[in-house]
């Protein structure tokens, strides 16, 4: 098997996985885009973070992030409070509704991950993880 075949399979798996994620988000009861979910996930892991921190973390355009945040705030999924150290900044967190939506959608993601490795033993999962970690390390080392 050629190296190209291995990377093509990795690419195909990620494409299938992402397609299923996007479809479940789009068709789910919350009508979230992939980026909206990523914003919710960021603030779920970092309650009280700022828009600037999300821009730095994501590498996305400030205007795009501002629109995403405003849309999620308008839908009642994010809430903000003044930053005590910098009055120009707003600390953002998931609202109660945002926490509920995030938990539900994250559960769908965990289910999809389980579907992807269905039938694998714990040892096979560890072996696959180890092999993929080596591929990742090889690419990072270049």
One digit per residue, pLDDT tens: the chain, 142 residues?
898 899 999 999 999 998 998 888 888 888 888 899 999 999 999 999 999 999 999 999 999 999 999 999 999 999 998 877 777 789 999 999 999 999 999 888 899 999 999 999 999 999 999 999 999 999 998 6
Closest Cα to residue 22, out of 40, 37, 42? Answer: 37
- What is the value of pTM for the model shown? 0.74
As a whole number of angstroms, the distance between CA 137 and CA 140 comes to: 5
Rounded Cα distance between 81 and 93, Å, is 9
Strand 49-50 and strand 78-82: pairing? unpaired
* Domain definitions of the chain by residue range: 3-116
Is residue 49 a contact partner of residue 91, using CB atoms and an 8 Å limit?
A: yes
CATH fold for the domain made of 3-116: Arc Repressor Mutant, subunit A (1.10.10)
Q: Is the dihedral of CA 11, 58, 29, 110 positive or negative?
A: positive
């Amino acid at each position: 098997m050629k190296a190209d075949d291995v990377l093509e399979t990795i690419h195909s798996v990620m494409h299938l996985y992402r397609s299923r994620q996007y479809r479940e988000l789009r068709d789910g009861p919350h009508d979230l885009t992939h980026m909206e979910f990523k914003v919710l996930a960021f603030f779920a892991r970092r309650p009280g973070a700022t828009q600037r921190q999300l821009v730095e973390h994501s590498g996305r355009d400030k205007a795009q992030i501002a629109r995403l945040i405003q849309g999620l705030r308008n839908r009642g999924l994010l809430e903000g409070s003044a930053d005590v150290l910098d009055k120009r900044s707003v600390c953002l967190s998931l609202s109660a509704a945002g926490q509920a939506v995030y938990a539900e959608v994250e559960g769908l993601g965990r289910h999809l991950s389980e579907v992807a490795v269905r039938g694998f033993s714990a040892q096979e999962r560890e072996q696959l993880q180890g092999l993929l970690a080596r591929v990742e390390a090889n690419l990072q080392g270049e």
